[in-house]
Amino acid sequence: MSAGRGEETSASEARSRGERRDQNALSRALRLEADGGSRGNPGVAGYGAVVFDAVSGDTLAERAAPLGKASNNVAEYSGLIAGLEAAMEIDPSARIDVAMDSKLVIEQMAGRWKIKHEDMRRLALQAQDLVRRIRESGGEVTWTWIPRERNKAADKLSNDGMDGEVITSDYWRDSPAEAGSPAPEQLTLLMPDEDGERAVPEPPVVVPVRTPPTPRRIVLLRHGVTDLTVQGRLDGRGGIDPELNPEGRRQAFAAAQGVRDQILGDIPYVVTSSLARAEATGAAVAQALGVPARVDADWDEQSFGAWDGLSFSRIRDLAPDGLTSLRSDPDFCAPGGESHRDFVARVLAAYQRLLADLEEGQTVVVATHRKPIMAVLAHVLDLDMATGWRLGCGPASFTVVDVFTGAVTIERLNDQHHL
């Protein structure tokens, strides 16, 4: 007796499901990590994405690009789209696990949250179209939220994008065997010899693999606010030495979480100045990172002598040209205070001691003050005293300095995203 139409359909569907399971079992497994950021939200924006082989962990592709002025969410969606496109180039039938620290994007793409903003809706439709094409090719896409500290590779690329860099790196093309493509044939040249002509293989070109240099990293963290900070009064070494106020304590704990993502390699300890506000800020960081805190008084703020605790308007009443001299004359000092030249000498001595103690690949966080941070940056950027004042350094902000052999780079400046 022949099978009925319904039985034929059920059998066909079962075979189709079985074929898809078999195909998925043989498909390549990829992991896509994506991110995006905006300095200002909306502000200068960029995205980053990296595709890994889920089995070997090898990096297969990287993407980064600037977006002009855009929001964080638009940048995150742009990173997702760039990553999906890169993954499709590698293998459109792959099983792709998308991992992002944006819960909004993950939940919206998984269909659990609604998309209300028009710009995000447009980008989400573009991403959904890519997912549809992957599934039509026999692939699959899953969605995973990860904490920010586990998304460092994509986060770094998104910052490269915000800095104006365009990165399109396809490492998988350099390994055709891994990408499922046939290896290129050995080129053969005909080289004549005394007996006539014979085939001699062309020697392969050996490209040396260069290991990227590993820096020593110093994270310069300004303390949280005190009542004097809020009131706009000078607060130096040897003065009132106030504690953090409630807002300053909140900032210190937020900064502890913010600098966590900046740790390169291991961190042996945290350094603080000897002033109470910096010690408290550094203690919050040391506790969060599980390392000891060391006090080095050479990281103290400049001494302002008799001007300590005074407002800027009061100082102008006492010395009309005093603040101008304080900002531009390296040998000027307030009555009983410290000159800029002497101050810089002690801060740079502390900086050099720290570099001598650090090994390549280690990070140290220094909880200090505005002028010590300015002094280090002016030193590595070769800025004069007056120009150094143009560098921003908000309370509880951090600046990242990477020191290589013969070179220094400023990775982040006045970063306050954690606040």
Q: If DSSP states are collapsed to H, E and C, what string results for 133-186?
A: HHHHCCCEEEEEECCHHHCHHHHHHHHHHHCCCCEEEEHHHHCCCCCCCCCCCC
301 tagged catalytic: yes
Does the annotation place 277 within a ligand binding site? yes
Residues 373 and 278 in one domain: yes
Whether 6 has a pLDDT exceeding 70, the answer reads no
What's the CA angle centered on 350, arms 285 and 338, to 5 degrees?
Answer: 105
Task: Note the pLDDT tens digit of each residue in 268-309.
Answer: 999 999 999 999 999 999 999 999 999 999 999 999 999 999
Q: What is the pLDDT of residue 181?
A: 39
% of the chain surpassing 90 pLDDT: 63
Task: Note the pLDDT tens digit of each residue in 117-170.
Answer: 777 788 999 999 999 999 999 999 999 999 989 999 999 999 999 998 999 999
Instruction: For helices 72-90 and 118-136, give the axis angle rounded to 10 degrees.
Output: 10
Residues 231 and 338 in one domain: yes
Residues sharing a CB contact under 8 Å with residue 51, sequence separation 6 or more, in sequence order: 30, 31, 32, 59, 60, 61, 62, 83, 86, 87, 90
Q: What is the pLDDT of residue 30?
A: 95
For residue 81, which phi and psi values (nearest 5 degrees)? Answer: -65, -45
Residues 140 and 282 in one domain: no
In a domain, 117, yes or no: yes
Catalytic residue among 33, 223, 279, 369: 223
In a domain, 309, yes or no: yes
Structural domain boundaries, residue 252 = 216-415
Residues 231 and 155 in one domain: no
Please provide the DSSP assignment of 293-315 as one string. Answer: EEE-GGGSPPP-GGGTT-BHHHH
Q: State both tokens at 92.
A: 């459109």
Strands 29-39 and 43-53: what pairing? antiparallel
Q: What is the pLDDT of residue 176?
A: 44
C-beta atoms surrounding 162 within 10 Å = 23
Q: If you average pLDDT over residues 404-409, what whole number do you get? A: 87
R_g over Cα of the chain: 29
Q: If you average pLDDT over residues 33-55, what whole number do you get? A: 92
Q: How many domains does the chain have?
A: 2
Catalytic residue among 33, 76, 301, 338: 301
The last residue of a domain, from among 112, 144, 174? 174
Q: Which residue has the higher pLDDT, 118 or 46?
A: 46
In a domain, 359, yes or no: yes
Residues 144 and 226 in one domain: no
In a domain, 354, yes or no: yes
CATH number at residue 113: 3.30.420.10
In a domain, 201, yes or no: no
What does the chain come to in residues?
A: 419
Mean pLDDT of the chain: 85
Residues 255 and 338 in one domain: yes
In a domain, 195, yes or no: no
Residues 60 and 111 in one domain: yes
CATH number at residue 235: 3.40.50.1240
Which of 183-187, 212-216, 232-236, 349-353 comes out lowest in average pLDDT? 183-187
% of the chain surpassing 70 pLDDT: 84
Residues 343 and 250 in one domain: yes
In a domain, 184, yes or no: no
Whether 5 has a pLDDT exceeding 70, the answer reads no
pTM: 0.53
223 tagged catalytic: yes
Residues 265 and 126 in one domain: no
Residues 161 and 256 in one domain: no
Q: What is the pLDDT of residue 55?
A: 86
Q: What is the pLDDT of residue 114?
A: 82
Task: Name the maximum alpha-carbon separation found in the chain.
Answer: 111
Residue 113: pLDDT band with limits 50, 70, 90: confident
Residues 32 and 117 in one domain: yes
